[in-house]
Chain A
Amino acid sequence: MIYPQLKNTPIKEIIFSISYDEIVDKSCFKKFIDLKEISERFNDIKPSFLLEITNNGLKQSIDNNNFHLRNRSEVLQLRKGALSYHYLGGYKKYSEVLDSIIELWTLFDSLTTENLTVNSLSIRYINVIEIDKDNPPSRLVQLYPKQSSDRNIINFQNSVNFNYVEFPNYNINVVSTKPKQNVVLLDISVSNKLIHPSTLADDPKLFDAFKPLQEIKNKVFFDSITAKALIRYI
């Protein structure tokens, strides 16, 4: 399917994730953040926090098993069982985001004693669509609550989980939500649970496994906005 080329896009955050089976030793995370390539790329590296219940309520404590790495436009989240790369600078070519996560994944994977077993890949595109009195959510996105002149919708969150018949192995989750007065988020996730999880240690296999997700997320995006919204971006 050929979609129109957009001159600008409402994309604000792109997240590519690789999920793996193993619960890796915490020394791997430590070795990873100590790598020269990593410490030079991410100037803000923090451990994640654990939540604990104490007699005085909830308390956060540092957890050195998980890390949050950030620079001006990128974030890398290391969780047990998943590595997520976030691009925060708006639109970026799919292949460039893919290059980044594969580069980081390859470095991380090289530090584990055996190659990690990749079981799922996912991409997530968070779009911010501006709304106003003349352009309420129902005129711009296809997922919206019933809207009429006698209703003032304060906020909403719709979530639809589905797959396309032609792509039965790809799970799609689309959330539309109005977190603030003048914007709607259109949050599109596409994931692929691998039928035959494997190490996917070499780049071409990972590239190939990620490839179909691009077309599907494009289809979801164009299926989720109205013609009126589309005009804004072409």
Chain B
Amino acid sequence: MRRLTGLLAVLAVLCLLPAFASAQAKTTVTLWYPAGDITAGAAHFADKALFAEFEAKHNVKVEAVGLDYDTMQQKIFTAAAGRNIADILFIDNGWAPGFLKEEMLEPVADAKAKAWLAAVSPEIKELSDYGNGRMWGYPQYGIDVYGLTWNKEHFKEAGLDPEKPPRTWAEFREYAKKLTKRDAQGNITRVGYAIRHVGHPHGIVHKHFWALYSAGVRLVDDPLLLRGGKAIINTDGGKAALKLVLDMLDVDKSTSLNFPDPRAAFLKGIASMQISETVSIKARQPKEAPDLKWGMALPPAPKAGDAPVSLLGAWVYSVPKQAKNKALAWQLIEWLNSPEKDYELCRKYDASPRYKVNWDKEPFKSDPYDQALKVMYPAGKKLPINLGFNGVMDAVGGAIQKVWHHEAPIEAALAEAERQANKAIADAAK
């Protein structure tokens, strides 16, 4: 009898243990972000101190998990389908249309969105607003602004003024020709301008967006339209934008298909000019090319008097509909994106702030990089939010590749891209 009582007591304790343990366990808020050098801001999640204050205040644990960038979209989607997803997703704003198509994201509460849009600077407002004040997440500080970066030493060496970047396409071609270097056999050892022509089609469009948009191409005519709309691609401007690089490849021989990663080529000193996210050059240059002296400006415009165009991009904090701790997730996001935290974290990580009030404070007020960005912001355009966006980007990226790889003439490639893009828009609207 005594044995039986003992056994029952042990069993009772064993049964109660999990309940006791779960009562003691803290709630864990999970956040998924891209690992590696993909975005300067994502590296901050590895900082254990980042969430300490929030964790102490709410008695929760915040777990930031780095995912492989190349397969992150797919992982998020399959995790959502399996109802086993993070509470917060730190995503590229270019991915949002695909997720919205699947009705996967929680909207930001109207009142919160209104307050945010009123308090942030215009470019952040543009990136945040998905039409009529609707928001699907908060863009992180240190947004991506695409700009022309150039190597000042190469400019001097080629007899160019290192403080004066090319302003028009004609100047751009001339500069690139002068900056190109060859070996004794005539092989290019340094390109005047490095182009992105391989890899994911989206990346290829991003890097040539400046030329396409300044020439009048529109990936979707109304960038804030979720369903419907029209792609305007096969135009004289579109043809000119593709011909610009094609001529640099074939006529000027100032660029080459053998230099596939513009940023790496620029930092290695084998490219004199490139156009991509300036924040990425700023983050990588001290480590990868500490002696490099570089300048930054808006990409060139088709001709004098035309407005230059830059691409605005951001990584966004969003909450999936399938999240287990939605309320806590929004609390954490709002805490991370408060004016005070914006100031504190931008100072700590040397990033550009989002709140208007913080732009008036030091060090941002007199930081030359931040002030140069401020000049570039008004020329920035964000990508459309259309539900057929992925198909549009695939179509345009494919056309660019076909032309530059001499697989198709410009007219045929653009006509096919426009057909595919409009089909993607129409299919997504069904």
The answer to whether A and B come from one shared complex is no
List chain B positions with a Cβ less than 8 A from chain A: none
